[in-house]
Structure 1
Amino acid sequence: MAERFAAAAPAEADLLASTVFGVHGARHLGGAPRQAEPAPGTSWWHGPTVHHTTSPLFRPVGYRRTRREAPALPAPRPTGGGRHRKPERPTTELRIAARLLLAHPLVTAEGPHGAALALIRRHATTLAERFHTLLGYRLTLGPDHARLHKSPLPGRGLPGLDPAGYAELVRALAALARGAQPGTSDDRVRALLDQWRPPAELAADLLTAPALPPAGPELTVRRLLAETPVVLLDDLAPAERAHLLAAAPAETERFADVLGLTAEIRAEGIALLDPADELTDLALPGPGTLAQAALLLAERLVEDLRPVDTDTAPPAVLIPDALIDGTLGDITDDYGMSAGWDAGYLADLAAFRRDALDLLHRMGLAAPAGRNWLLRAPAARYAPRAELQPAPGSGRHSRPAAGPAQPRGRDRQAV
């Protein structure tokens, strides 16, 4: 297996790692609109937005984030009339354990989430049944670990590892499985093993566990809903699209019950959101230069390119290449120094562009199309509401978009 990793291209190695290890976390967009849910069939391009509540750059001075509470859980059934009797807690505990496993599929006694191992073990039978029924995932437990076996996803390999790193990880796990020291000199692999703290039986399981059986349309759609930020109808195979169109309310209700996720159902597809902004391995909105710049880039591109027609809006629009460079130049001028952005990115706009677009891609808001990029409809949830009046670009780097004038909304300070 180490040789197979070493010989693979980077993207192939990431997919192989996702297939073999299946330890990627769930990924969901942050923020939920405060407006009422729009009428069925509303497009993301023209629906409610979270612009007022998400971007760290638009929060008032002295703002301190407070974690939103998850939706209220159903009241427990009465368990008796004694005044000292405590209410049942299985619904709460099951949801906590299920969310933890979806976010962190490896839980070891010596790892960072070791304290939750007893909770997982207490509800192991029900958790295994629910994960199997809902997602076709397999839950296994050893004396010192719990592992949720996930299905592979493109682009969801182990952060920081290239093909050589994956090969070294396989050799290190093989040594641990034999009860020997890994003996690796790769700092990335050592850091990962320090985080996982895998006992011998888990190291062996990671290398030898059978793959999950093939999934049909229903399980495929559910896995995408549970693990990815956005599921667009146009990205699905015909049978998968038919299932989602027919069963969207029932499917989203299942995820609300088991994981506490809420649904954003739009004409183009569905996004499941975590009201606590916790069930994701990437945060958008989020802190730091890259997350802030990517969000601003998406917002301004939406303002320039948002389709006017509310009845025939496409799920994605082509981004003129010069518009990306011009918009990134504008937001760097506007916020780079005042927001204390990373000096390396400010000095290398090509790397800044590459990494900002990559983050938008990983969050389902943009997609590569050959040498060009597409802006996807869900990006509009982070932009101001559409103002159906044309306005030229105002920044010194801006380039006018080709074609007819598009709706825009530049009044960012109004938030």
Structure 2
Amino acid sequence: MKQRRRIDALALDSYQRAARVMLANHLVTRVYPDRIALPLVRRWATELREDLAELFGYRLEVTETTARLFPVHDRLDDARPARSVNDRVFDRRRYAYLALALAALGRAGDQITLSELAEQVADYAGGIDGLELSTERAADRDAFVDAIGWLGARGALTLADGDAGGWASDPEAGEALYDIDRPVVVALFRPPRALQHLHSVRGLLADETEQTAADQARRVRRALVERPVVYREELSPAERALLDQDRVVGEVEYCTGLRAERRAEGVALIDTSGRLSDTRFPGTGTLAQVALLLIGEIADAVLDLDNPVERRPTPDPAEDALITQLDAAIPAAGVFAPLAEEADALAPDPLTEIAGDDGDPVTYPFLDDAWTRSTVTALTDRYGATFAAQWQADVGGLSAEVLALLAKLRLVRPVPGGLLVLPALARYRGAVVTVRVRKAEELFVTAAETGGTGVGGNRA
């Protein structure tokens, strides 16, 4: 690789930290993700611009105040939603207010009050069927303030005076004044194609047809940095061959400073730095603790020779259902027909059942919902005194959140009626969980004990 000849060994760690920051965040500003990130990325701007394009097909733009990575998406992923500053997952309404706020800020001056911005967003929302921003409703005000907080965390808005929380509590008495950073606003929304030209969100994904060997290698490298685990069965035969090459995986290791862990079923990059992951596992908190305990129970059930579990193939890719849902929400009136891409041209060939290298369908251990509920209930009965108070009386909610975490880490896959146990779960089956009742927060193993890993970074 070019950077092996260009970067001095003493500076390599700095370069790798800059690469991890850019790959994890996609948008870097003077305040996001922290104040040291932008100077670090600017130091390596030339090398990063060349290397990210060569390795992943990504485009990097760096200015004095922003660094923006424009990735190439090979698939849709609903496992990394936007979150508020209070870690509240964005819903449809919050996403809508965020998009409309960006549109309003693009036409604003250098400053704007929260009430003025809310009024403009309400005007825009009134022109969209099924969407309304009513500042009379507390839930609407909270959702709108969450969207503004997301923009503020990234530096698009800076609070100059007042308090957004006070406005959310009482818009008649509270107010907030914001400075607008226009370069950040412009950098936040830069779609690769005009959305009005698309009949389907597939048009935002990379074209899989007639790819060269270099394109296929970039797809494999992208998968390595964007997915917690890359399973061989998800790749085409040509991509599987590339995943087996030390050179392809080694290039990603060199660029990111991470270590690749290879198994027969696939490859995972192990992130002990914490700078490429938005979810640390193992980690602290009740959800991570219960997830690790549940992994041990799942492993015991799968390995129980006296009571063998059922095995099932994976269903059709969940991405297809997600694309169908998103396409159904595209307003036909918003598509500019003369320049719109034909939906049929964007749709892939019908998928057959995924098969292994020998042509047989790949199957995985299956555990039903009843088993999961009873197991989490048993864990709660045994260790519940150490759990966070909100989960001690909500076993159903705890089960749902723990399974969502394991699915995000690609350790299990939820399917109708239960879950499929994926191979990467075996990585944690030998972990030892120490329970100390007097300090509930210590119910976990450290990342160092198992070689902590994580899942792809936040996306701007």
Q: Is 2:32 aligned against 1:111?
A: yes
What CA distance in whole angstroms lies between the structure 1 residues aligned with 2:392 and 2:287?
11
1:98 to 7, 16, 19: 19
What CA distance in whole angstroms lies between the structure 1 residues aligned with 2:155 and 2:275?
23
Q: Is 2:184 aligned against 1:202?
A: yes
SS of the residue 2:277 aligns to? coil
Q: Is 2:92 aligned against 1:163?
A: yes
- Give the TM-score normalised by the residue count of structure 1: 0.65
Amino acid at match of 1:175: A
Residue 259 of structure 1 is matched in structure 2 by: 256
**Superposed displacement of residue 88, structure 1:** 7.4
Residue 322 of structure 1 is matched in structure 2 by: 370
Q: Is 2:407 aligned against 1:361?
A: yes
Structure 1 residues 88 and 289: CA distance shift in structure 2, 3 A: closer
**Contact 1:367–1:376 (8 Å) recurs in 2:** yes
**Contact 2:229–2:266 (8 Å) recurs in 1:** yes
Amino acid at match of 1:322: A
Residue 188 of structure 1 is matched in structure 2 by: 146
What CA distance in whole angstroms lies between the structure 2 residues aligned with 1:250 and 1:377?
24
Aligned pairs for 1:300-379 within 5 A: 300-306=297-303, 316-337=364-385, 339=386, 341-379=387-425
SS of the residue 2:36 aligns to? helix
Greater shift in the superposed pair: 354-363 or 121-130: 121-130
What CA distance in whole angstroms lies between the structure 1 residues aligned with 2:216 and 2:365?
27
What CA distance in whole angstroms lies between the structure 1 residues aligned with 2:190 and 2:71?
14
**Contact 2:32–2:155 (8 Å) recurs in 1:** yes
Amino acid at match of 1:319: L
What CA distance in whole angstroms lies between the structure 1 residues aligned with 2:289 and 2:15?
34
Structure 2 residue ranges without an equivalent (≥5)? 84-88, 119-140, 157-180, 194-203, 209-214, 309-359, 432-449, 451-460
**Contact 2:243–2:249 (8 Å) recurs in 1:** no
**Contact 2:228–2:269 (8 Å) recurs in 1:** yes
SS of the residue 1:208 aligns to? coil
Structure 1 residues 124 and 214: CA distance shift in structure 2, 3 A: farther
SS of the residue 1:151 aligns to? coil
Q: How many residues align?
A: 298
Structure 1 residues 321 and 208: CA distance shift in structure 2, 3 A: closer
Residue 102 of structure 2 is matched in structure 1 by: 173
**Contact 1:179–1:200 (8 Å) recurs in 2:** no
SS of the residue 1:146 aligns to? strand
What CA distance in whole angstroms lies between the structure 2 residues aligned with 1:383 and 1:359?
16
**Contact 2:27–2:188 (8 Å) recurs in 1:** no
Residue 77 of structure 2 is matched in structure 1 by: 154
**Contact 1:252–1:262 (8 Å) recurs in 2:** no
Residue 392 of structure 1 is matched in structure 2 by: none
Q: Is 2:95 aligned against 1:137?
A: no
Q: Deviations over 1:369-408 (max 9, x none)?
A: 22321111111111129xxxxxxxxxxxxxxxxxxxxxxx
SS of the residue 2:267 aligns to? strand
What CA distance in whole angstroms lies between the structure 2 residues aligned with 1:102 and 1:162?
25
Aligned pairs for 1:211-222 within 5 A: 211=193, 214=207, 216-222=215-221
What CA distance in whole angstroms lies between the structure 1 residues aligned with 2:379 and 2:421?
18
Greater share of strand: 2
Greater shift in the superposed pair: 213-222 or 124-133: 213-222
**Superposed displacement of residue 307, structure 1:** 7.6
Amino acid at match of 2:409: M
Residue 225 of structure 2 is matched in structure 1 by: 226
Between the aligned residues of both structures, percent identity stands at: 34
Q: Deviations over 1:326-369 (max 9, x none)?
A: 211221122110x2x12222212111111111110000000012
What CA distance in whole angstroms lies between the structure 2 residues aligned with 1:364 and 1:123?
32
What CA distance in whole angstroms lies between the structure 1 residues aligned with 2:303 and 2:9?
50
Greater shift in the superposed pair: 180-189 or 217-226: 180-189
Residue 45 of structure 1 is matched in structure 2 by: none
Q: Is 2:289 aligned against 1:295?
A: no
What CA distance in whole angstroms lies between the structure 1 residues aligned with 2:273 and 2:40?
20
Amino acid at match of 1:194: G
**Superposed displacement of residue 146, structure 1:** 0.7
What CA distance in whole angstroms lies between the structure 1 residues aligned with 2:271 and 2:285?
21
What CA distance in whole angstroms lies between the structure 1 residues aligned with 2:231 and 2:304?
17
Structure 1 residue ranges without an equivalent (≥5)? 1-73, 78-86, 386-414
**Superposed displacement of residue 292, structure 1:** 0.7
What CA distance in whole angstroms lies between the structure 2 residues aligned with 1:167 and 1:384?
44
**Superposed displacement of residue 278, structure 1:** 4.0
Aligned pairs for 1:5-20 within 5 A: none
What CA distance in whole angstroms lies between the structure 2 residues aligned with 1:288 and 1:114?
27
**Contact 1:263–1:271 (8 Å) recurs in 2:** yes
Residue 352 of structure 2 is matched in structure 1 by: none
**Contact 1:299–1:380 (8 Å) recurs in 2:** no
Amino acid at match of 1:154: D
Q: Deviations over 1:118-139 (max 9, x none)?
A: 2212221110111111111111
**Superposed displacement of residue 237, structure 1:** 3.4
What CA distance in whole angstroms lies between the structure 2 residues aligned with 1:254 and 1:297?
35
SS of the residue 2:261 aligns to? strand
**Contact 2:21–2:275 (8 Å) recurs in 1:** no
